[in-house]
A and B are shown apart, each in its own frame.
Chain A
């Protein structure tokens, strides 16, 4: 793999490329929201993979960077709506952390659309599916993550 094209986002080649998206979902709202989407048979791309965490505040910036390093093209963090956190305040801390982290990634020139936070309740299956479809579309448009990945993981 040549390093010289790392600055260029590779546009999605038709059919061959499917962006890989990691979704961190809090157990109480968003993971349940994903279940609701499933029960309602609301489809979203299969390359979105969900990791269950107890609360959005459990998500360390290291996990997000790790996902990008290993080849994720987008990372989304979903939690309870502010004020509805199962642990009362967890998502408030997550909100500050993610705001600053995303701003920093943007500052480093990494496409700011690759990261996202969305508050999705257990009842909002439709919102979950819609969010995932929309996010997948965004990442599809951006193409492969080249700026923030470990090229050794490409092989």
Chain B
């Protein structure tokens, strides 16, 4: 039996006007276990708190019930109060007799009666409270950033700037991501490469940052402050230390037919390749699927010409184990290949391209060195049709339900760039809606329409057909309500954006939840937009949802600041109101593991002594640093092995009993 003190607050007249506080204190004073009960004008004031502290000392209280305002208001305050008097801060219960009693009832007798019942329930609960301690766990002061695009780089740079080590794991041979492939950026039209390549160089040069390029995260275990990751370094067949990036090998390689990923497959590259001139690290990589030496054992030309002696055909995959305090997911996006949209002739006509392919066609570093030409003829197109929302905002199963967000703006950019270089080329954009929320975005779009004379037509393209020396575009103009038949030399599809396919696997290994579109879910849509619900996992960039570069960079920096918040602590204190499993009752059925949103439950073989029998059993173990204390597992557990500290089944039932008596 606890020795309980009851403190009834007047809250000035907020409570006392409607509730007879003295009567409440008197009635609750008679409850079993209560050794002291009193009322006071303002319990939360310094003198009110002193009153509580004195009573704890004078009466040797082991539990405290405060009848006052909502625990959401002052629970933390009163926990500190009783803690400073030597009591465990979790030996406190609050009866909310203000918001849930005095403020909503007018009848004094009725409100007083209710306040007594509420106090009784709190007493019943505190009887069963147990002292709880916050768990302390050390923090590994290094962060893992998965993905080396602009999001990953920005996050890594900001974390490194705060003095912490960061590892970037990038699955491609170079960092830089999609931004390195873009020609210009909206709405300023500055050169994408010119702003991203210095970032790449900064990232590589930062001594706090280690880049694992051409590597993948194979596995992650652990929890906030204490993650362990296995990184798979894929073999490059080139010693990255020795390679100078001179590129001589790439000029000699006889296998020249591989599609160039950097140029979206619009031209080819050799089997040994450097993705692009500004790649970081500037190191050659051998594509094992194309290399004649690796496939047949014959050739070896690159080895012969390499003056640095960097070629190593015997290189093997390597697994690297690293420890981290926090993980940032920056896995980015891809543009869908609109192969299912046969009506647009993608895959049938080389002159129908996606917007990312168009970026490469317009880029000075692209396959045409920036000269706009129809891929089929090499001639300057006379008319380009842009089709918006290809695969976005749809309800059919081939379509994404969401808006890809950046297409409206980059299409305006494309049309404007075309008009800038080739004023004679006509540009027509078919759109459903034009969405331009963003600083200087609408002005940018209007410039395309008003100054550059880009034709914007509200309506969808029904069909693109191969005509005689041109493409025939059939469309409807919804505002004019008429069918259009246009001739175009090129069609550019603003194909939907989707999360990178690697995201799902990473989400699973991090137990970070994802939405139905495989975008990572945030811990709170409004208030915690850069955190995953899984503690210690943060989100940066497109992996969380479509966004443009400035948004990505802001999110990347926000994620970095969250990571710094974790890494700057020596120890993490966790909420002690968490689940725990009684090994003697646990069946080992794994159902709780399935409902845990945080991956806090694991199973291990433990020696259990149950009813005098000693045996090894598979039992649930809750990781105290990860558990957030929701209680989903406790109800899933049929045997009642899983319970929640602070909200234990017997405590809740005691409250039910007290209320219903």
Chain A interfacial positions (CB closer than 8 Å to B): 20, 22, 27, 31-32, 34-35, 37-39, 41-44, 46-47, 49-55, 57-63, 66-67, 70-72, 84, 86-90, 93, 97, 129, 153
Given the interface contacts A32-B72, A70-B661, does A51 sit within 8 Å of B106 by beta carbon?
Answer: no
Q: List A contacts of B595 (CB < 8 A).
A: 57, 89, 93
Choice from A34, A50, A60, A70 contacting B660 with Cβ under 8 Å: A70
Q: Does B199 contact A (CB under 8 A)?
A: no
| Residue of A whose beta carbon sits closest to that of B93 | A52
Q: Does B171 contact A (CB under 8 A)?
A: no
User: Would you list the 5 A-B pairs with minimal beta carbon distance, nearest first?
Assistant: A38-B99, A58-B631, A70-B660, A87-B630, A57-B632
The answer on a CB contact under 8 Å between B100 and A63 is no
- Are A90 and B104 in touch, CB under 8 angstroms? no
Q: Which residues of A have CB within 8 Å of B525?
A: 84
Looking at the complex, which of B237-245, B254-262, B461-469, B647-655 is the stretch in contact with chain A?
B647-655
Q: Known: A51-B121, A54-B629, A57-B630. Is A22-B656 also a contact (CB below 8 A)?
A: yes
A35 to B106, CA, bound (A): 17
B117 at the interface (CB under 8 A from A): yes
Contacts of B415 in A (CB 8 A): none
Q: Are B521 and A88 neighbours in the complex by a CB distance under 8 Å?
A: yes
**B residues adjacent to A (C-beta < 8 A):** 70-72, 96, 98-101, 103-107, 110-111, 113-114, 117-118, 121, 513, 521, 523-525, 533, 577, 595, 597, 628-632, 634-636, 644, 647, 649, 652-653, 655-657, 659-661
Which residue of B is nearest A87, CB measured? B630
Taking CB atoms, residues of chain A closer than 8 Å to B106 are 43
A70 CB contacts on chain B under 8 angstroms: 656-657, 660-661
Question: Could you say which residues of chain B place their CB within 8 Å of the CB of A61?
Answer: 635
Cα A150 to Cα B553 in complex, Å, equals 62
**Chain B residue with the shortest CB-CB distance to A72:** B660
Q: Give the secondary structure class of B's interface.
A: helix
Alpha-carbon gap, A32 to B660, bound state (A): 23
- B121 contacts which chain A residues (CB < 8 A)? 49, 51
Known: A35-B72, A89-B513. A49 touches B114 (CB 8 A): yes
Contact residues in A for B656 (Cβ distance below 8 Å): 22, 51, 63, 66-67, 70, 72
16 contacts between A and B (CB under 8 A): A20-B659, A22-B660, A32-B72, A37-B104, A38-B70, A38-B99, A46-B101, A49-B114, A54-B631, A55-B632, A58-B647, A60-B635, A70-B661, A129-B104, A153-B660, A153-B661
A94 → B minimal CB distance (Å) = 8
Pair A54/B653 contact, Cβ less than 8 Å = no
* A153–B660 alpha-carbon span in the complex (Å): 9
In the bound complex, do residue B630 and residue A55 qualify as a contact, i.e. CB atoms below 8 Å apart? yes
Minimum CB distance partner of A83 in chain B: B525
Q: With the chains together, A97 CA to B636 CA distance in Å? A: 9
CB distance from B631 to the nearest CB of A (A): 3
With A43-B106, A49-B659, A70-B660 in contact, is A63–B653 under 8 Å at CB?
A: yes
Are B118's CB and A49's CB within 8 A?
yes
Query: Could you tell me if B632 and A42 are in contact, using CB atoms closer than 8 angstroms?
Result: no
One of B99, B113, B628 near A35 (C-beta < 8 A): B99
Known pairs A39-B99, A39-B103, A90-B630; A67 contacts B597 (CB<8 A):
no
* Bound-state Cα–Cα, A132 to B178, Å: 53
* A36 CA to B636 CA, complexed, in Å: 31
Known: A88-B513, A90-B632, A97-B635. 15 other contacts (CB 8 A): A20-B660, A31-B70, A34-B100, A51-B652, A54-B577, A55-B631, A55-B632, A58-B632, A63-B649, A66-B653, A67-B659, A84-B525, A87-B597, A88-B533, A153-B660
